Protein backbone atom coordinates (compact mmCIF):
# COMPACT_ATOMS: atom_id res chain seq x y z
CA UNK A 1 0.00 0.00 0.00
CA UNK A 2 1.28 3.49 -0.84
CA UNK A 3 1.94 5.60 2.17
CA UNK A 4 -0.78 7.98 3.33
CA UNK A 5 0.00 8.66 6.95
CA UNK A 6 -3.23 9.94 8.59
CA UNK A 7 -4.31 11.20 12.01
CA UNK A 8 -7.44 9.20 12.78
CA UNK A 9 -9.68 9.63 15.79
CA UNK A 10 -11.11 6.22 16.78
CA UNK A 11 -12.92 7.42 19.88
CA UNK A 12 -12.59 9.53 22.96
CA UNK A 13 -8.86 9.95 23.79
CA UNK A 14 -7.96 7.47 21.05
CA UNK A 15 -6.06 9.27 18.29
CA UNK A 16 -3.91 7.02 16.10
CA UNK A 17 -1.39 7.87 13.43
CA UNK A 18 -1.62 5.17 10.81
CA UNK A 19 -1.46 4.45 7.13
CA UNK A 20 -4.45 4.53 4.85
CA UNK A 21 -4.61 4.12 1.08
CA UNK A 22 -4.14 7.25 -1.02
CA UNK A 23 -7.58 8.50 -2.14
CA UNK A 24 -8.36 9.11 -5.82
CA UNK A 25 -10.13 12.34 -6.82
CA UNK A 26 -13.73 11.97 -7.98
CA UNK A 27 -15.33 14.19 -10.65
CA UNK A 28 -14.83 17.86 -9.78
CA UNK A 29 -12.26 17.03 -7.12
CA UNK A 30 -8.53 17.41 -6.80
CA UNK A 31 -6.11 15.19 -4.94
CA UNK A 32 -3.92 17.25 -2.64
CA UNK A 33 -0.54 16.54 -1.18
CA UNK A 34 -1.27 18.14 2.17
CA UNK A 35 1.15 20.83 3.38
CA UNK A 36 0.12 22.46 6.67
CA UNK A 37 -2.84 21.85 8.98
CA UNK A 38 -3.57 24.02 12.02
CA UNK A 39 -5.02 22.44 15.15
CA UNK A 40 -8.36 23.96 16.15
CA UNK A 41 -10.07 23.86 19.51
CA UNK A 42 -12.80 21.75 17.93
CA UNK A 43 -10.28 19.05 16.87
CA UNK A 44 -9.03 18.88 20.45
CA UNK A 45 -12.60 18.79 21.77
CA UNK A 46 -13.55 15.81 19.56
CA UNK A 47 -10.39 14.06 20.74
CA UNK A 48 -11.03 14.63 24.45
CA UNK A 49 -14.85 14.37 24.42
CA UNK A 50 -15.78 12.33 21.34
CA UNK A 51 -18.49 14.85 20.51
CA UNK A 52 -19.46 18.51 20.16
CA UNK A 53 -23.15 19.05 20.88
CA UNK A 54 -25.17 16.83 18.54
CA UNK A 55 -22.14 15.91 16.42
CA UNK A 56 -21.06 12.58 17.88
CA UNK A 57 -18.15 10.45 16.75
CA UNK A 58 -19.53 6.97 15.99
CA UNK A 59 -16.87 5.65 13.60
CA UNK A 60 -13.16 6.48 13.00
CA UNK A 61 -12.65 9.94 11.49
CA UNK A 62 -9.66 11.91 10.23
CA UNK A 63 -9.10 15.13 12.15
CA UNK A 64 -8.05 18.53 10.77
CA UNK A 65 -9.83 21.30 8.85
CA UNK A 66 -7.47 24.32 8.77
CA UNK A 67 -5.44 23.21 5.79
CA UNK A 68 -3.38 23.88 2.71
CA UNK A 69 -2.05 21.53 0.06
CA UNK A 70 -0.44 21.15 -3.35
CA UNK A 71 -2.57 19.78 -6.21
CA UNK A 72 -1.21 16.33 -7.11
CA UNK A 73 -4.01 14.96 -9.34
CA UNK A 74 -7.02 16.38 -11.16
CA UNK A 75 -10.40 14.68 -11.11
CA UNK A 76 -12.66 14.62 -14.17
CA UNK A 77 -13.77 18.04 -15.36
CA UNK A 78 -11.51 20.16 -13.17
CA UNK A 79 -10.36 23.25 -15.07
CA UNK A 80 -9.78 25.89 -12.36
CA UNK A 81 -6.60 24.31 -11.00
CA UNK A 82 -3.54 22.53 -12.35
CA UNK A 83 -1.07 20.06 -10.90
CA UNK A 84 1.48 21.82 -8.69
CA UNK A 85 -0.86 24.66 -7.64
CA UNK A 86 -0.56 25.54 -3.94
CA UNK A 87 -4.03 25.98 -2.47
CA UNK A 88 -5.90 26.80 0.73
CA UNK A 89 -8.70 24.32 1.46
CA UNK A 90 -12.10 25.69 2.48
CA UNK A 91 -13.26 22.75 4.60
CA UNK A 92 -17.05 22.98 4.19
CA UNK A 93 -18.55 21.82 0.88
CA UNK A 94 -22.30 22.50 0.72
CA UNK A 95 -24.97 20.93 -1.53
CA UNK A 96 -24.99 23.90 -3.95
CA UNK A 97 -28.74 23.26 -4.58
CA UNK A 98 -30.76 24.47 -1.58
CA UNK A 99 -32.19 27.88 -0.77
CA UNK A 100 -29.24 28.78 1.48
CA UNK A 101 -26.66 27.72 -1.09
CA UNK A 102 -28.45 29.61 -3.85
CA UNK A 103 -28.67 32.81 -1.81
CA UNK A 104 -25.01 32.68 -0.81
CA UNK A 105 -25.49 31.65 2.80
CA UNK A 106 -24.08 28.20 2.19
CA UNK A 107 -22.74 27.94 5.75
CA UNK A 108 -26.41 27.34 6.70
CA UNK A 109 -26.85 24.46 4.21
CA UNK A 110 -28.14 21.43 6.11
CA UNK A 111 -26.36 19.05 3.71
CA UNK A 112 -22.92 20.68 4.12
CA UNK A 113 -19.99 18.27 4.44
CA UNK A 114 -17.45 19.89 6.74
CA UNK A 115 -14.01 18.39 7.36
CA UNK A 116 -13.59 16.69 10.74
CA UNK A 117 -17.23 17.11 11.72
CA UNK A 118 -18.61 13.57 12.21
CA UNK A 119 -18.99 11.56 10.08
CA UNK A 120 -16.93 13.56 7.52
CA UNK A 121 -13.19 12.98 7.39
CA UNK A 122 -10.77 15.86 7.88
CA UNK A 123 -7.48 16.38 6.10
CA UNK A 124 -4.70 15.80 8.64
CA UNK A 125 -2.96 13.33 6.31
CA UNK A 126 -0.34 13.13 3.56
CA UNK A 127 -2.99 12.95 0.82
CA UNK A 128 -6.59 14.09 0.71
CA UNK A 129 -9.23 14.82 -1.99
CA UNK A 130 -11.42 17.92 -2.01
CA UNK A 131 -13.91 19.78 -4.25
CA UNK A 132 -11.79 21.86 -6.64
CA UNK A 133 -14.09 24.89 -6.35
CA UNK A 134 -13.44 25.01 -2.59
CA UNK A 135 -9.67 25.21 -3.11
CA UNK A 136 -8.11 28.66 -3.49
CA UNK A 137 -4.84 29.06 -5.34
CA UNK A 138 -2.22 30.87 -3.27
CA UNK A 139 -0.02 33.53 -4.89
CA UNK A 140 3.70 32.68 -4.80
CA UNK A 141 4.44 35.05 -1.92
CA UNK A 142 1.76 33.57 0.37
CA UNK A 143 3.04 30.55 2.31
CA UNK A 144 1.10 27.32 2.78
CA UNK A 145 1.11 28.02 6.54
CA UNK A 146 -0.67 31.29 5.78
CA UNK A 147 -2.99 29.28 3.53
CA UNK A 148 -3.93 27.13 6.53
CA UNK A 149 -4.55 30.28 8.59
CA UNK A 150 -7.21 31.42 6.10
CA UNK A 151 -9.64 29.13 7.95
CA UNK A 152 -9.65 30.92 11.35
CA UNK A 153 -9.25 34.25 9.52
CA UNK A 154 -12.43 33.47 7.57
CA UNK A 155 -14.23 33.09 10.90
CA UNK A 156 -12.99 36.62 11.68
CA UNK A 157 -14.13 37.95 8.30
CA UNK A 158 -17.61 36.46 8.72
CA UNK A 159 -17.95 37.78 12.29
CA UNK A 160 -16.85 41.29 11.27
CA UNK A 161 -19.24 41.27 8.30
CA UNK A 162 -22.16 40.11 10.43
CA UNK A 163 -21.26 42.86 12.94
CA UNK A 164 -20.94 45.54 10.24
CA UNK A 165 -17.36 46.52 11.13
CA UNK A 166 -16.23 49.41 8.96
CA UNK A 167 -13.96 52.46 8.95
CA UNK A 168 -14.42 54.33 12.26
CA UNK A 169 -15.94 51.38 14.18
CA UNK A 170 -15.21 50.99 17.87
CA UNK A 171 -15.02 47.29 18.68
CA UNK A 172 -14.88 45.09 21.77
CA UNK A 173 -13.56 41.55 21.35
CA UNK A 174 -14.21 39.13 24.21
CA UNK A 175 -11.58 36.36 24.26
CA UNK A 176 -7.95 36.59 23.10
CA UNK A 177 -7.53 33.05 21.76
CA UNK A 178 -6.79 32.34 18.08
CA UNK A 179 -10.32 33.27 16.94
CA UNK A 180 -10.43 36.46 19.02
CA UNK A 181 -7.07 37.47 17.56
CA UNK A 182 -8.27 36.67 14.01
CA UNK A 183 -11.32 38.89 14.65
CA UNK A 184 -8.94 41.60 15.87
CA UNK A 185 -6.70 41.38 12.78
CA UNK A 186 -9.75 41.47 10.49
CA UNK A 187 -11.49 44.33 12.30
CA UNK A 188 -8.30 46.37 12.10
CA UNK A 189 -7.93 45.64 8.38
CA UNK A 190 -11.57 46.65 7.84
CA UNK A 191 -10.80 50.05 9.33
CA UNK A 192 -11.92 49.82 12.94
CA UNK A 193 -10.73 52.92 14.78
CA UNK A 194 -10.44 51.47 18.27
CA UNK A 195 -10.37 47.86 19.38
CA UNK A 196 -10.37 46.55 22.94
CA UNK A 197 -9.78 42.87 23.67
CA UNK A 198 -10.53 41.09 26.96
CA UNK A 199 -9.50 37.75 28.46
CA UNK A 200 -9.03 36.02 31.81
CA UNK A 201 -5.49 34.91 30.96
CA UNK A 202 -2.69 37.47 31.39
CA UNK A 203 -0.37 35.60 29.02
CA UNK A 204 -2.96 35.77 26.26
CA UNK A 205 -3.40 39.50 26.89
CA UNK A 206 0.36 39.97 26.71
CA UNK A 207 0.45 38.05 23.42
CA UNK A 208 -2.36 40.25 22.06
CA UNK A 209 -0.35 43.37 22.93
CA UNK A 210 2.68 41.91 21.19
CA UNK A 211 0.77 41.57 17.92
CA UNK A 212 -0.44 45.17 18.13
CA UNK A 213 -3.58 45.30 20.31
CA UNK A 214 -3.64 48.68 22.09
CA UNK A 215 -6.26 47.91 24.69
CA UNK A 216 -6.04 44.49 26.35
CA UNK A 217 -8.01 44.20 29.59
CA UNK A 218 -8.21 41.42 32.15
CA UNK A 219 -11.75 40.35 33.07
CA UNK A 220 -10.59 38.43 36.12
CA UNK A 221 -12.42 39.08 39.40
CA UNK A 222 -14.53 41.89 37.94
CA UNK A 223 -18.29 42.08 37.52
CA UNK A 224 -19.80 42.68 34.08
CA UNK A 225 -20.93 46.12 35.25
CA UNK A 226 -17.38 47.01 36.31
CA UNK A 227 -16.04 45.70 33.00
CA UNK A 228 -18.54 47.75 30.98
CA UNK A 229 -17.39 50.92 32.77
CA UNK A 230 -13.70 50.09 32.35
CA UNK A 231 -14.18 49.34 28.63
CA UNK A 232 -16.03 52.65 28.10
CA UNK A 233 -13.28 54.56 29.93
CA UNK A 234 -10.54 52.79 27.97
CA UNK A 235 -12.13 53.37 24.55
CA UNK A 236 -13.46 56.84 25.34
CA UNK A 237 -16.91 55.64 24.36
CA UNK A 238 -18.97 52.47 24.46
CA UNK A 239 -18.16 50.00 21.65
CA UNK A 240 -20.70 49.98 18.80
CA UNK A 241 -19.80 46.38 18.12
CA UNK A 242 -18.88 43.49 20.41
CA UNK A 243 -17.61 40.16 19.14
CA UNK A 244 -17.91 37.36 21.71
CA UNK A 245 -15.24 34.69 21.10
CA UNK A 246 -14.72 33.17 24.56
CA UNK A 247 -17.81 30.96 24.59
CA UNK A 248 -18.17 31.88 28.25
CA UNK A 249 -21.56 33.20 29.46
CA UNK A 250 -19.73 35.86 31.50
CA UNK A 251 -18.07 37.06 28.27
CA UNK A 252 -21.46 37.30 26.58
CA UNK A 253 -22.86 39.24 29.53
CA UNK A 254 -19.88 41.64 29.38
CA UNK A 255 -20.50 42.21 25.68
CA UNK A 256 -24.22 42.87 26.15
CA UNK A 257 -23.70 45.41 28.94
CA UNK A 258 -20.68 47.10 27.35
CA UNK A 259 -22.16 47.62 23.87
CA UNK A 260 -23.54 51.08 23.26
CA UNK A 261 -27.19 51.88 22.52
CA UNK A 262 -28.19 50.69 19.04
CA UNK A 263 -25.07 48.54 18.76
CA UNK A 264 -24.56 44.92 17.93
CA UNK A 265 -23.25 41.83 19.74
CA UNK A 266 -22.04 39.01 17.51
CA UNK A 267 -21.69 35.55 19.03
CA UNK A 268 -18.77 33.51 17.71
CA UNK A 269 -17.72 31.36 20.70
CA UNK A 270 -19.88 28.32 21.40
CA UNK A 271 -21.99 29.11 24.46
CA UNK A 272 -23.74 26.45 26.56
CA UNK A 273 -27.27 25.58 25.39
CA UNK A 274 -28.99 27.89 27.88
CA UNK A 275 -27.44 30.89 29.60
CA UNK A 276 -28.65 33.74 31.80
CA UNK A 277 -27.95 37.15 30.26
CA UNK A 278 -29.25 40.73 30.77
CA UNK A 279 -31.65 40.44 27.84
CA UNK A 280 -34.05 43.24 28.73
CA UNK A 281 -31.16 45.66 29.21
CA UNK A 282 -30.03 44.88 25.66
CA UNK A 283 -33.57 44.90 24.23
CA UNK A 284 -34.58 48.32 25.54
CA UNK A 285 -31.33 49.81 24.23
CA UNK A 286 -31.88 48.17 20.82
CA UNK A 287 -28.66 46.17 21.04
CA UNK A 288 -28.89 43.46 18.37
CA UNK A 289 -27.64 40.00 19.24
CA UNK A 290 -26.51 38.04 16.20
CA UNK A 291 -25.38 34.46 15.78
CA UNK A 292 -22.63 33.30 13.47
CA UNK A 293 -21.84 29.86 12.12
CA UNK A 294 -18.48 29.30 10.44
CA UNK A 295 -18.42 31.50 7.30
CA UNK A 296 -19.54 31.83 3.69
CA UNK A 297 -17.75 33.57 0.84
CA UNK A 298 -14.97 34.64 3.20
CA UNK A 299 -11.93 32.74 1.89
CA UNK A 300 -11.27 35.15 -1.02
CA UNK A 301 -11.40 38.11 1.39
CA UNK A 302 -9.14 36.41 3.93
CA UNK A 303 -6.67 35.56 1.17
CA UNK A 304 -6.76 39.12 -0.12
CA UNK A 305 -6.03 40.49 3.37
CA UNK A 306 -2.94 38.26 3.56
CA UNK A 307 -1.77 38.68 -0.04
CA UNK A 308 -1.94 42.49 0.07
CA UNK A 309 -0.17 42.62 3.43
CA UNK A 310 -3.13 44.24 5.20
CA UNK A 311 -2.97 41.40 7.71
CA UNK A 312 0.07 39.55 9.00
CA UNK A 313 -1.23 36.36 10.59
CA UNK A 314 2.11 34.54 10.79
CA UNK A 315 2.82 35.65 14.40
CA UNK A 316 -0.21 33.57 15.50
CA UNK A 317 1.79 30.40 14.80
CA UNK A 318 3.64 29.60 18.02
CA UNK A 319 4.52 25.91 17.62
CA UNK A 320 5.14 23.41 14.84
CA UNK A 321 5.03 19.60 14.71
CA UNK A 322 5.45 16.95 12.04
CA UNK A 323 2.51 14.76 11.01
CA UNK A 324 4.25 11.77 12.62
CA UNK A 325 4.16 13.66 15.92
CA UNK A 326 0.47 14.62 15.76
CA UNK A 327 -0.24 13.01 19.11
CA UNK A 328 2.37 15.25 20.76
CA UNK A 329 0.87 18.22 18.96
CA UNK A 330 -2.59 17.38 20.32
CA UNK A 331 -1.23 16.90 23.85
CA UNK A 332 0.28 20.37 23.51
CA UNK A 333 -2.95 21.86 22.17
CA UNK A 334 -4.91 20.33 25.06
CA UNK A 335 -2.90 22.20 27.68
CA UNK A 336 -1.93 25.20 25.50
CA UNK A 337 1.25 25.36 27.61
CA UNK A 338 4.29 27.51 26.74
CA UNK A 339 2.14 30.33 25.39
CA UNK A 340 0.63 28.23 22.60
CA UNK A 341 -1.75 30.10 20.29
CA UNK A 342 -1.83 28.33 16.92
CA UNK A 343 -0.12 24.95 16.64
CA UNK A 344 0.67 23.92 13.06
CA UNK A 345 1.25 20.41 11.79
CA UNK A 346 3.51 19.89 8.78
CA UNK A 347 2.02 17.15 6.63
CA UNK A 348 4.50 17.21 3.75
CA UNK A 349 7.68 15.19 4.10
CA UNK A 350 11.15 16.73 4.01
Q: Which one of the spans 93-101, 194-202, 237-245, 289-297 is the region binding Zn ion (CB under 5 A)?
A: 93-101
Q: Residue 94 interacts with Zn ion (CB under 5 A)?
A: yes
The Cα–Cα gap between 279 and 256 comes to 8
**CA separation (Å) from 131 to 30, 122, 190?**
6, 13, 30
When the beta carbons of 79 and 110 are compared against Zn ion, the nearer one is 110
The answer to whether the beta carbons of residues 27 and 75 sit under 8 Å apart is yes
Binding-site size for Zn ion (CB under 5 A) equals 6
Residue 285 CB, shortest distance to Zn ion, in Å, is 33
Q: Which one of the spans 14-22, 35-43, 255-263, 287-295 is the region binding Zn ion (CB under 5 A)?
A: 35-43
Residue 42 CB, shortest distance to Zn ion, in Å, is 5
Q: Residue 347 interacts with Zn ion (CB under 5 A)?
A: no
The Cα–Cα gap between 203 and 335 comes to 14
Interface positions, 201-240, toward Zn ion (CB under 5 A): none
Residue 237 CB, shortest distance to Zn ion, in Å, is 33
When the beta carbons of 222 and 270 are compared against Zn ion, the nearer one is 270
Residue 320 CB, shortest distance to Zn ion, in Å, is 17
When the beta carbons of 227 and 268 are compared against Zn ion, the nearer one is 268
Q: Residue 95 interacts with Zn ion (CB under 5 A)?
A: yes
* Backbone angles phi and psi of 46, in degrees to 5: -60, -40
Non-local (6+) Cβ contacts of 349 within 8 A are: 126
Q: Residue 115 interacts with Zn ion (CB under 5 A)?
A: no
Residue 100 CB, shortest distance to Zn ion, in Å, is 5
When the beta carbons of 8 and 40 are compared against Zn ion, the nearer one is 40
Q: Residue 40 interacts with Zn ion (CB under 5 A)?
A: yes
Residue 68's Cβ-count burial label (10 Å; 0-12, 13-18, 19+) is buried
**CA separation (Å) from 152 to 41, 57, 95, 165?**
11, 23, 22, 17
Non-local (6+) Cβ contacts of 278 within 8 A are: 224, 253, 256, 257
As a whole number of Å, the CA-based R_g of the chain is: 20
Residue 296 CB, shortest distance to Zn ion, in Å, is 11
Binding site for Zn ion (CB under 5 A): 40, 94-95, 98, 101, 109
Amino acid sequence: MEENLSAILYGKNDLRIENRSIPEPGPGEVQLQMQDVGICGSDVHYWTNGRIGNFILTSPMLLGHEASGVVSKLGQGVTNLKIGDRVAVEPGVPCRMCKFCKTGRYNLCTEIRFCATPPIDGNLARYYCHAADFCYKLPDHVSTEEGALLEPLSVGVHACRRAGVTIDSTVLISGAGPIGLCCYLTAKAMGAKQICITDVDDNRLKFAKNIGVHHALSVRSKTSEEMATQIETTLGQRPEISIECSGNPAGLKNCMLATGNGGCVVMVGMQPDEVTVPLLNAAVREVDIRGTFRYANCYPTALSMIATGQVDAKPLITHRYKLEDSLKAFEHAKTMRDGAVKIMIRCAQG
